[in-house]
Amino acid sequence: MPRTALLVSAALLAALLSPAVSHAADDPAPVPVDRFEGEVPFASQPAEGIFTWGSDTDDPPALQLTARSDAPEGAKVLTGSYDISGYGGFTHDFAATEPAHDWSAHQGIRFWWDGQDNGRKIAFEIKDGGANGEASELWTTSFTDDWTGWRQVEIPFTDFVYRTDYQPVGGIDHVLGLTGMWGYAVTLPAGVKGRFAMDDVELYGRADQSLRANVTTDAAVYPVKEGGTAAVKVTVATTGAAPIDDPVTVAYETAGGSADPDKDYTPVHGTLTFPAGTVSGTSKTIEVPTLRDKAAESAETVPLRLTVTGAKAPAETPQIVVDAHGLPYLDAKLPVRKRVADLVSRMSLAEKAGQMTQAERGAVGGGGDIATYALGSLLSGGGSTPTPNTPEAWAKMIDAFQLRARATRFQIPLIYGVDAVHGHNNLSGATVMPHNIGIGATRDPRLAEQAGAVTAAEVRATGIPWDFAPCLCVSRDERWGRSYESFGEDPALVQSMETVIQGLQGRANGRDLSRSDKVLATAKHFVGDGGTEYGSSTTGTYKIDQGVTKVTRQQLEAVHLAPFETAVDRGVGTVMPSYSSLDVLGDGQGPVKMHARADMINGVLKDRMGFDGFVISDWNAIDQLPGDYASHVRTSVDAGLDMMMVPYTYKDFTGTLVDEVKAGRISERRIDDAVSRILTQKFRLGLFEHPYADTGGAAAIGSPEHRAVARRAAAESQVLLKNTGGLLPLKKSEKVYVAGSNADDIGNQSGGWTLTWQGSSGNITPGTTVLQGMREAGGNVTYSKDASAPTDGYDAGVVVVGETPYAEGVGDVGNGHSLQLSAADRAAVDRVCAAMKCAVLIVSGRPQLIGDRLAGIDALVASWLPGTEGEGVADVLYGRLPFTGQLPVTWPRSESQLPINVGDTSYDPQFPYGWGLTTLTRVPQGGTTTLRALALAATAAERVGADRTGRELVAKARLLVQQKVGQAITDAVAKPFADADHLLLTGRYGKAVQKLTEAYRAA
- Count of residues making up the chain: 1003
| Residue of 444, 485, 498, 808 with catalytic role | 808
| Residue of 489, 517, 618, 825 with catalytic role | 618
Residue 193 neighbours by CB under 8 Å, 6+ apart = 81, 82, 83
- DSSP letters spanning 736-791: EEEESTTTT-HHHHH-SSBSBSS--SSS-SS-B-HHHHHHHTT-EEEE-TTS-S--
Tell me the C-alpha distance between 881 and 860, whole Å. 17
Amino acid at 818: S
- What Å distances lie between residue 948 and 405, 448, 914, 941, 985, CA to CA? 50, 17, 18, 9, 12
To the nearest 10 degrees (0 to 180), the angle between helices 947-965 and 971-985 is 170
Is 73 labeled as catalytic in the residue annotation? Answer: no
* HSE toward the beta carbon, residue 834, CA cutoff 13 A: 8
Tell me the C-alpha distance between 853 and 845, whole Å. 20
Residue 437 neighbours by CB under 8 Å, 6+ apart = 475, 483, 484, 485, 486, 487, 488, 845, 846, 864, 865, 888, 889
Q: 150: part of which helix (H) or strand (E)? A: strand 148-156
Tell me the C-alpha distance between 817 and 802, whole Å. 12
Q: What is the β-pairing status of strands 248-254 and 300-309?
A: antiparallel
Phi, psi of 781 (to 5 degrees): -120, 135
Tell me the C-alpha distance between 251 and 241, whole Å. 23
Cis peptide bond upstream of 28, omega within 30: no
Is 618 labeled as catalytic in the residue annotation? Answer: yes
Closest CA to 45 of 199, 183, 250, 228: 183
Question: What percent helix, strand, coil does the chain show, rounded to 5?
Answer: 30, 25, 45
Helix, coil or strand: residue 145: strand
| Residue spans of beta strands (DSSP E) within 516-610 | 522-526, 548-551, 574-577, 581-584, 592-593
What number of other Cβ atoms are within 10 A of residue 257's Cβ? 19
Helix, coil or strand: residue 114: strand
Tell me the C-alpha distance between 704 and 693, whole Å. 23
What number of other Cβ atoms are within 10 A of residue 41's Cβ? 12
**Counting Cβ atoms within 10 Å, is residue 854 exposed (0-12), middle (13-18) or buried (19+)?**
middle
Q: 633: part of which helix (H) or strand (E)? A: helix 629-639
Q: What is the β-pairing status of strands 415-418 and 466-467?
A: parallel
Phi, psi of 578 (to 5 degrees): -90, 155
Region of residue 851 (phi > 0: left; psi between -120 and 50: alpha; otherwise: beta): alpha
Phi, psi of 878 (to 5 degrees): -100, 10
Tell me the C-alpha distance between 545 and 809, whole Å. 5
| Residue spans of beta strands (DSSP E) within 851-928 | 859-864
Tell me the C-alpha distance between 222 and 322, whole Å. 8
Cis peptide bond upstream of 388, omega within 30: yes
Q: Which residues are catalytic?
A: 618, 808
